[in-house]
Structure 1
């Protein structure tokens, strides 16, 4: 099994042709994000991923993290790798420069996040949560809180966690029972237990800043009565130095089917009655604050789905080129062909490649929308970009993580019986990927968010915009010539089906509370797949123009067109076929009784 190699050529293609990196570099704060600077950043990030993170991926899985006497230890090599991560400045490349961040666009940062997670997903979960905490503090923290915590979080010297889940609550955050009592000095005393806390304790960073949801006295029931608190592992003195250990601890680590090296902790707060916390964002405003962190995490978890698929794909291609079995058509008798020459293996590899490239387009585009939403000088463009980012986020998270599992499974299949043997390592990608559709709001919740909130966002403006953009691309394909006629036809059919499904949801959801939820998951898959086809079609058009101008790598650009054609012919019709499931309604779901389901 070879080490991970960053797909820099495709990353650059997407950043320059789906994302408009040149336009981003002209926005206030991004002036240094010129193509040569970005190329250098990506190049160095790729080296770090290949040389530092990838080599400890399998060993970390085998060794795992462990807890003894409330002290967590991570696998061999983790401490050194994290120190190099911090020293390289990788933790805060998109954070504001005023807090010693790199100030690069999110679209560029997402490419580096992809590399970290492809090389070593379990390691990369630690900085992922820290990034979310940075964004929450930037949006909701007081100036004092920002000055106290942000520079250390941006550098990575301190890490962070997100504490939502409790055993009785699960995805129903409103059912949490953790408490916060006011203290005379203006701080709070936190008590309660949280489960599934990623990197809840570890020895990688000097301090860990826990963001903890809890209820204050007399708070309203449900999510309306939740507040968010900063709860440091070590209290921070006025001069920024570390003080006493706070009253919190890791009770245990979960035994998981994957990401063994990532310590998933059960955390207990206030066992001695003196766990100090600091309110962020105002009392009973916890969900708004946490959603800033969670939306960041959702996009980054979507990147993880893309990343694990890319890593599994690289190994599958390598194996398919080396493994000889059977005869390919036209071969002399007695000779065996590499399995990459067999049609069904080609189908599986192309399914992986096409979906991966579509996901990369979607996720980087999502990042660009966030960049414009925060940095564009025109208020109208900022609002439109934020609306588009919000529409794309449940697709980036839901579709990409579903595909992460599916494509990792295909990689196991390509390995045949050896894929089921841990020795090859491909099974780790499948095991690691399985958490991703569950993390940060299950994919069912992403689908409900899409149909319940995002379709109606700003009067449906983001949906109308992207559908109109799709229609333009369909016409451009039709006008280009016979080469893209079939692509134009298939994309046109898919867009028409998506419009019909969307109209059905707009019409029926207000009259039947189960109508939209029943079709939500197939609708998310449908919408995402059509977006993927649309973006690959844009890639093909751009590749054709570059070829005509004699600009770029001919082999790479030819492959772009072939991959888009494959997606359009083999994958996009599946989206069109989902019109029925989306518009079926809930009758067939509830026609059977609970007793019949368990019979």
Structure 2
């Protein structure tokens, strides 16, 4: 049977030692996030994930959700009780504002607790995760009345939230949306249309669901510039906060999916449902991107989380499974064979996983901290850089962590051999659940296009050049430390390759847009590898200072050196491929494939 234990020690290392969250105590919310408070939250969140959520993971996968004859949806056994515990214990309120009843703790801490939830039960974690994103979108674009009406109960998780973008004829190209909104005399709108793949569109966990729906106001401009955003509650909310009549928004069916069976993925039908405009007419995408960007960071974290739980079980199996003898002779002479962890190729798979997971966790939390700085710092320069970095890193984090996270979950299954292909060991569920992360919230190909087409050129390249300078400064500051040489040399080489790839795109992407498109995925992979190299260099510096005090730090250095010597060489291949441009990809006529 599979197991999950929250990697609290590694989380503490990143939060306390690498990011030094305690040094931001001058910012709102950080003063309360003392190391003791952070440790207590991590411990309790880890227990909830292990004892309550993980036992439901297999149940959710096997049972799935059920659409009843009346259109209601029943979640798997145990999900409702677990969700009630989540709300009663205040977990959704960690990072929410005090005005909405929250604790206003740093977003980076909430990211850590969300990772545990997702590792333990990814399908379950999507319910509060999407609600948080919908809440943030309303806080960013909603009126004061909408914030007051929906905010507190969405913040607490008493009410859920969804995002309704995709329709049968359009996914990425939202300019093709057909859902229409007709203005009413009382200021509301009648929303009519169909949305598909709506996570948590209907469920039995909360008494109300607040749908955020993209639609085109009747007579509005064609294309993306004519899209508006509406709040459409399952139950109409009265001025006193009470629930009134049922809205004409209903679940027309549940998708039969490869994974995440415990999450209700709905076809949502809006039949002149009552909705209210969020923000300005025809400016809906601006507000929805608040939710989409938070969701993309969350999806990147899901790639990490599934790699983590799969890795833990792969390590257990590798230590227990006896097969053959070590190439150097028996390592367990009292047993009929050696555990497979003695074999170099098994070690390769485990070390690939470990090096990715620990680097990816640092990258995720480092990026989340910039989210806090953007919202909380009084320094305009700090806020600007944080905003720049969040915009630049979001597509990288989403796509790189899910590409690699899925690969690592597959490697964990491979360690199990034939056992991994069977349901008993749980690995095949981790792989199936993780696969969606490469697709939803914008496919990874779209993330790569967003990176090279929008984020690099934004503000004259200010964000990426700032990142280059930061890595240069780190290498320069540690150049005389011989113990850091493998990390500083590796980072300097990676940065040089990323800069070369960036220059190539700037020189060749504008002359032929297909060059940018053809290079985009390799460029994103190169960027992700470089970002993790920077994280490993930062972690190594701390680990060297503490080396000898705890084997944890020795292990950190061993793993970091593995990343630099075994994984970073992939960057050169991505650079070589991106520089070939579009011609090799586009040469074959479409009708000859």
Pairwise CA distance, 1:333: 9.6
What is the distance in 2 between the residues matched to 1:587 and 1:74? 50
Q: Aligned residue for 1:425?
A: 426
What is the distance in 2 between the residues matched to 1:91 and 1:410? 33
What is the distance in 2 between the residues matched to 1:450 and 1:16? 31
Report matched runs for 1:252-267 at 5 Å.
252-267=253-268
Once the two structures are superposed, residues 121-140 of structure 1 have per-residue CA deviations (whole angstroms, 9 ceiling, x without a partner) of 00001111101111111111
Asked if residue 297 in structure 1 is aligned to residue 315 in structure 2, the reply is: no
Contact 1:487–1:569 at 8 Å: present in 2 too? Answer: no
What is the distance in 2 between the residues matched to 1:253 and 1:486? 51
TM-score, normalised with respect to structure 2: 0.97
Q: Aligned residue for 1:496?
A: 496
Q: Aligned residue for 1:415?
A: 416
Once the two structures are superposed, residues 503-539 of structure 1 have per-residue CA deviations (whole angstroms, 9 ceiling, x without a partner) of 1111122211111111000100001111101111110
Pairwise CA distance, 1:490: 2.8
Asked if residue 46 in structure 1 is aligned to residue 46 in structure 2, the reply is: yes
Contact 1:121–1:304 at 8 Å: present in 2 too? Answer: yes
Q: Aligned residue for 2:591?
A: 595
Contact 1:24–1:372 at 8 Å: present in 2 too? Answer: no
What is the distance in 1 between the residues matched to 2:119 and 2:385? 32
Pairwise CA distance, 1:21: 0.3
What is the distance in 2 between the residues matched to 1:394 and 1:322? 39
What is the distance in 2 between the residues matched to 1:136 and 1:486? 43
Contact 1:119–1:311 at 8 Å: present in 2 too? Answer: yes
Q: Aligned residue for 1:230?
A: 231
What is the distance in 1 between the residues matched to 2:118 and 2:555? 25
Q: Aligned residue for 1:578?
A: 574
Contact 1:477–1:487 at 8 Å: present in 2 too? Answer: no
Say which of 560, 564, 567 aligns to 2:560: 564
- Which ranges in structure 2 are unaligned for 5 or more consecutive residues? none
Contact 1:24–1:33 at 8 Å: present in 2 too? Answer: no
Contact 2:200–2:266 at 8 Å: present in 1 too? Answer: yes
Contact 1:497–1:576 at 8 Å: present in 2 too? Answer: yes
Contact 1:24–1:105 at 8 Å: present in 2 too? Answer: no
- Which ranges in structure 1 are unaligned for 5 or more consecutive residues? none
What is the distance in 2 between the residues matched to 1:92 and 1:301? 20
Pairs aligned (count): 589
What is the distance in 1 between the residues matched to 2:279 and 2:438? 29
What is the distance in 2 between the residues matched to 1:543 and 1:441? 36
Q: Aligned residue for 1:357?
A: 358
RMSD of Structure 2 on Structure 1 (CA): 1.3
Pairwise CA distance, 1:143: 0.6
Pairwise CA distance, 1:2: 4.1
Q: Aligned residue for 2:147?
A: 146
Pairwise CA distance, 1:476: 4.6
What is the distance in 2 between the residues matched to 1:19 and 1:446? 26
Q: Aligned residue for 2:310?
A: 312
SS in 1 for 2:569: helix
What is the distance in 2 between the residues matched to 1:258 and 1:235? 33
Report matched runs for 1:98-113 at 5 Å.
98-113=99-114
Pairwise CA distance, 1:421: 0.9
Once the two structures are superposed, residues 423-466 of structure 1 have per-residue CA deviations (whole angstroms, 9 ceiling, x without a partner) of 11110000000000101011111111111111112221221121
Asked if residue 326 in structure 1 is aligned to residue 324 in structure 2, the reply is: yes
Report matched runs for 1:139-218 at 5 Å.
139-218=140-219
What is the distance in 2 between the residues matched to 1:364 and 1:358? 10
Contact 2:307–2:409 at 8 Å: present in 1 too? Answer: yes
Contact 2:479–2:485 at 8 Å: present in 1 too? Answer: yes
Q: Aligned residue for 2:31?
A: 31
Q: Aligned residue for 2:274?
A: 276
Q: Aligned residue for 2:116?
A: 115
SS in 1 for 2:211: strand
Once the two structures are superposed, residues 296-341 of structure 1 have per-residue CA deviations (whole angstroms, 9 ceiling, x without a partner) of 1000111111101101011111111111111112215973111111
Once the two structures are superposed, residues 43-101 of structure 1 have per-residue CA deviations (whole angstroms, 9 ceiling, x without a partner) of 11111001100011011101111112211111000000000000011112111011011
What is the distance in 1 between the residues matched to 2:80 and 2:403? 31
Once the two structures are superposed, residues 469-514 of structure 1 have per-residue CA deviations (whole angstroms, 9 ceiling, x without a partner) of 2223334554211x43333333322221111111111112221111
What is the distance in 2 between the residues matched to 1:92 and 1:440? 24
Contact 2:188–2:276 at 8 Å: present in 1 too? Answer: yes
SS in 1 for 2:480: helix
506-515 or 14-23, which deviates more: 14-23
Once the two structures are superposed, residues 203-250 of structure 1 have per-residue CA deviations (whole angstroms, 9 ceiling, x without a partner) of 000100000000001111111000000000001011101101000110
What is the distance in 1 between the residues matched to 2:2 and 2:420? 15
Pairwise CA distance, 1:34: 1.3
Report matched runs for 1:469-484 at 5 Å.
469-481=470-482, 483-484=483-484
Pairwise CA distance, 1:187: 0.6
Contact 1:107–1:368 at 8 Å: present in 2 too? Answer: yes
Q: Aligned residue for 1:400?
A: 401
Pairwise CA distance, 1:370: 0.8
What is the distance in 2 between the residues matched to 1:20 and 1:226? 42
Q: Aligned residue for 1:65?
A: 65
